[in-house]
Structures are given as structure tokens and as C-alpha cells.
Structure 1
């Protein structure tokens, strides 16, 4: 029995004024329940544009994004509340994403308040901090009191707060040093397994992709040039663009 399709892009096209060509050109992509899918490509390939469209932050010039078959269209925040509860983001730089004046407990609980999630928010925050390997007492402290790796754990706890079905991780370890990257990758993998959360990982780091994901989509010049299992695409790429990417991009060695 095939897994249920959650987040899907069909024929996504996006053009920006003044650009020579489209940032995205008829891109198709599908993320199923529990899947861990990577999107890779060189700078300018269209990864950031695709991420914004998948999150409903921009409107495509062609094609559509759906979640469980329901269209995802930019609009008032309240109109996308259902989608924000289902799809959350793990940021690239947790230091910039966390309000320096907001205590950790408030930051982790923020999605619960904004998305009007019922229940005991304080208990949920304590549960989440434990889940990411932090003491619940961290709730009373400020972000600057933590290391970069700990701040990424806090950002992950916040993303998990409304019990999403999908996490979109945009270069989730690029701001961290090598030793901490391994810890965060292992945590993302463990959380995905434990919670059954699907992951869409956008990354330049093919070591991260290999460690985290089962499948990969390769973008080049706004188009999907190759897709398939990570083990096949990154060891025996069929397209010229994927071959060049594998040859050029250094990998973080993850034991």
C-alpha cells in the first residue's frame, strides 16, 4: 500500500521581473507521510523559491501547491492557519529566528498561541524540551544563554509544538560547527522516526542529505533534472547536472 501524499507541487513556475529566465520552471514534487526527501542544487537552482512557494509565502505564476489535496494559496494568516499547523519550518539560523528578548518557554509556545492550539501549553513546552534533549528549566532562560546547537534544538522544539505532519528544514545545520551538525542531524532523524513526521530537507551538504533522507530531487536552473533514491542519485547520477553537483559539493562526513 502506497504512503499518503501530503505536500505536493504540480507544474510550479515562478518568474521574477528583470530575470533572464524563470526561477522555477514546471516543477513537480511530492512528499508522502513519513518520507524524508531532500532538495539539492547549486546556488541559483531555485531551492529558495521552491521553499517559499511550498510554504505559501509567494504565489506561483503557474501550477499549484496542495496539502492533502487542498490548495495552499498565499493570503491572510488566518486563512492558512490549518496549513501552518500541519507544516512547520526548522530555520537555517536559529539565532536570528529566536526573539532575543523572549524566554525559551515563550518562544516554544508561540506557535501554540498563534495557531490557537488547545491544551496545557506549559506542559507541552516541558515535553518538547525533553524531546530535544534539553532540561525543562531552560524554559525560563533567554536564547543568548545557549550555544548554537542548543538554539537549534530550541527551534526544533518550537517547530514540533503544534504536532505537524511535515517539517521543512532549510539548511538546518549550515550555521553550526561540524561536531554539533552531527548531533542535530541525529536528532532530526530520531524525531522524524519517533513522531512519524515527514521531512523536506533543503541542503547543499550531501553528507547531511545522505544521513537524513531516503529520496532526493535535484534542481538546476529552476527545473527538476533528476530524482530518486539518495543511494542511487548520489553514487551513480544519471544527469549531467547531478553528476557535476556530486563532484563539486564537499560532504560533511557523518559517522
Structure 2
């Protein structure tokens, strides 16, 4: 098993997933702060629909998924609505478009099935490069975005009263979140992307004593569950995505005794 873990064949998928498992839970914290945690499923389904559409026209899947997710960010920005209702609409539209598109050709059907099953081991250099780029972008952008997102949530009228561009800040964060979710959905499946966004942030949001500790909690839980899932799936010859989701669901039990939202 140790030989398999360090096999060059699995090295690229391993580091791709590791980067995403550190980034997505942090993005999930800010989505939870904004009470928009359904964005994970919304953007993931829209990205999935984009990937299936790309397979129908022989376009690269990952750029098609990214473009579709970013278009969804622009549409939501034009609507100027906050909350989960817009993302619920994106879920049902993306889900229907993904399955309808998958029914039109055999290749599209395989793409749709891969998005549902999660196929981390078959990711390539494009996923690794994008995951690395997003991780670097997140490390640069989030320290700038964080105080603005926190202020917009705690003092919602402050920036508008001082003529500061609230919409630009929100769109910049949503574009980063949509890109991360799109890459994760195409790399490890729609449900894995949602679980990484939702569960570590859900646990950390109420248990951490400060925002910085919440970030550390969320990132730590995401990375630890990912490493455990990768080793367990490789060692027991199990599909990666269901193992990761099952471990994250087990971790969610840490959150339940605390109560609250």
C-alpha cells in the first residue's frame, strides 16, 4: 500500500486533492458567514452541467465547467439577491441540465457519471495547476476580502454609507468560491466538493473561539479527513469520493452536541 501511495501515478491526484481540501473548507466558512452554504451545491451542479455540455461539443471539460460556474456568478450578481434561494434554483437547473445533457451521447453520459462518482485518481496536470493557482490566489485575496466580508455581515450598512464597492467585494469572493467548487467537482465529484465546503465549516463555525481559530479548525478538518480518505481508499481498494464523504459525515457528529445553526 505504501508503494501505491508514493507511486508517481497517484502523486498528481494526491496533491490536487490536498490543495482543494485545504482551500474549500475556508471558502465554506465565508459562505456560512453569509448564510449561502448552498452555493457549494449550486455552483457544483452548474459546473457539472458545463462539463457535460463541453463533452457534447468536444470542448475541454474543465474550462467549460469553470466558465459555466463564473457565468452563474455574474447572473447572481445581476440579480443582486443574497441567501440560499438563488443557489437552490441553480441546483435544480444545473441538475436537470447535467442529466439531460448526459442522455444525449455516450461520452456525455460518462462525464456525468464521473461527476457523480468522483474520480480523483484520473485528474491530470490541468487540475493540479488550477488547484495550485486557486490556493495561491486564495492566500493572497482572502486576507484582503476577509475584513470586508466580515464587516459587510456584522455592519451591513457601513460600507454603503461610506460609498465603498460592496458588490465588487462580494463578486470577487463568489468568483473565487465558484472556481474552487468547479475544479473540486470535476476533480473529485459534486458531493465531495459539497461535503468539503459544508462539513468542516459547519463544525468549526460554532466550536472555534475566534474567526482565525475557525479557519484553522476548518482547514485542519478538511486536510485530515482528506488524508485519511486517500489512505483508506487506496489501502482497501475503495472508491475515493464515497470514502471522503463518509469520513466527513462522521466528523459532523463533533458538531451536533454543540447545537445551534
Normalised by the length of structure 1, the TM-score is 0.25
Tell which has more relative contact order, 1 or 2 (C-alpha 8 A, sep 6+).
Answer: 2
Query: Which of the two has greater strand per residue?
Result: 1
Query: Which of the two has greater helix per residue?
Result: 2
